[in-house]
């Protein structure tokens, strides 16, 4: 039988507030739609609700922009307070052009605006990426496995990134727990007898992107269950997906 993968959107979650128990909210929503979490499932959780639960929120009215942020704002026509938050979340600015700011975050991710986001928050508040997305994923995973005794699951924290060479955006994994985020084919032999030397698939990113098909941006589905994917069970870390700077042609 050909391999099959099922993606189940988890709807019905209320708005997440700082301090909320995300694992409990996810389990409540899953059961509320007559579903369950099974052994081997991968849960893909959007960054936004993780950041809200962890109170990674900043009220721009309380931000005092630095001289650098003010100079950038005058040049780019942007809110100096927002630019100040972006600068605080950045290890460095990779490039600025046409009003776009590409940053390397403190985590090592290269993305627009250091992951600082104004969408789905409101009230002059912006959300930041979790301090440690891998730890965030592991906390959710541990709590769900404690509740679902005997079930081993993996958790991916996803966010939306742009991509070099390609138009459009896609969801990627910024936090991983319970699985290897890459599948390495190096050293294996293809059907023609050729030994693979560079084939490494970013399966956590692929799962995050696939899950977005049922999440979408405006659907209020912040969690998806991916079922049937044969992943390698391991501690896991999204850091494995970050290309070292010396091999990154875009930095």
β-pairing, 57-59 vs 125-127, is antiparallel
For residue 23, the tally of other CB atoms under 10 A from its CB is 22
pLDDT tier at 243, thresholds 50, 70, 90? confident
By C-alpha distance, which of 184, 165, 82 is closest to 128? 82
When pLDDT is averaged across residues 219-243 and rounded to a whole number, the result is 93
pLDDT at 198 over 70: no
pLDDT of residue 118: 84
* Cα(112)–Cα(122) distance, integer angstroms: 19
CATH 3.30.1330.100 domain range(s) in the chain: 7-56+130-177+203-246
Q: Which residues of 126-137 are buried (b: 16+ CB within 10 A; e: fewer)?
A: bbbbbeebbebb
Residue 108 tokens read as: 């090592």
CATH 3.90.1660.10 domain range(s) in the chain: 58-112
pLDDT tier at 121, thresholds 50, 70, 90? confident
* Cα(69)–Cα(80) distance, integer angstroms: 5
More confident residue, 242 or 165: 242
- Under CATH, to which class is 7-56+130-177+203-246 assigned? alpha beta
243: Cα within 13 Å, side-chain hemisphere: 10
CATH code that applies to domain 58-112: 3.90.1660.10
For residue 12, the tally of other CB atoms under 10 A from its CB is 13
When pLDDT is averaged across residues 188-215 and rounded to a whole number, the result is 84
Residue 214 tokens read as: 């049922």
Residue 42 tokens read as: 């991968």
* Cα(40)–Cα(65) distance, integer angstroms: 47
116: Cα within 13 Å, side-chain hemisphere: 26
> pTM for the full model?
0.92
pLDDT, tens digit, for every residue of 27-80? Answer: 999 999 999 999 999 999 999 999 999 999 999 999 999 999 999 999 999 999
pLDDT at 149 over 80: no
3-state secondary structure 29-68: HHHHCCCCCCCCCEEEEEHHHHHHHCCCEEEHHHCCCCHH
When pLDDT is averaged across residues 239-247 and rounded to a whole number, the result is 87
20: Cα within 13 Å, side-chain hemisphere: 19
């Amino acid at each position: 039988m050909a391999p099959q993968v099922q993606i189940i959107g988890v709807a019905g979650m209320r708005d997440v507030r700082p301090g909320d128990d995300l694992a409990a909210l996810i389990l409540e929503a899953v059961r509320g739609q007559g579903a369950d979490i099974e052994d081997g499932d991968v849960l893909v959780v959007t960054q936004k609700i993780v950041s809200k639960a962890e109170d990674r929120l900043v009220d721009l009215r309380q931000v005092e922009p630095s001289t650098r942020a003010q100079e950038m704002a005058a040049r780019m026509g942007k809110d100096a307070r927002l630019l100040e938050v972006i600068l605080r979340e950045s290890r460095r600015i990779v490039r600025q052009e046409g009003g776009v700011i590409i940053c390397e975050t403190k985590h090592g991710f290269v993305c627009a605006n250091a992951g600082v986001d104004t969408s789905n928050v409101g009230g002059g508040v912006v959300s930041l990426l979790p301090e440690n997305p891998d730890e965030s994923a592991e906390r959710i995973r541990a709590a769900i496995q404690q509740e679902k005794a005997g079930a081993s699951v993996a958790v991916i924290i996803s966010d939306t990134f742009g991509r070099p060479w390609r138009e459009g955006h896609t969801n990627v994994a910024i936090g991983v727990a319970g699985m290897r985020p890459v599948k390495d084919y190096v050293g294996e032999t293809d059907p023609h007898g050729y030994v693979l030397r560079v084939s490494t698939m970013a399966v956590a990113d692929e799962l995050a992107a696939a899950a977005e098909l049922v999440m979408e941006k405006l659907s209020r589905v912040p969690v998806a269950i991916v079922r049937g994917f044969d992943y390698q069970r391991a501690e896991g870390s999204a850091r494995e997906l970050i290309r070292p700077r010396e091999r990154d042609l875009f930095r």
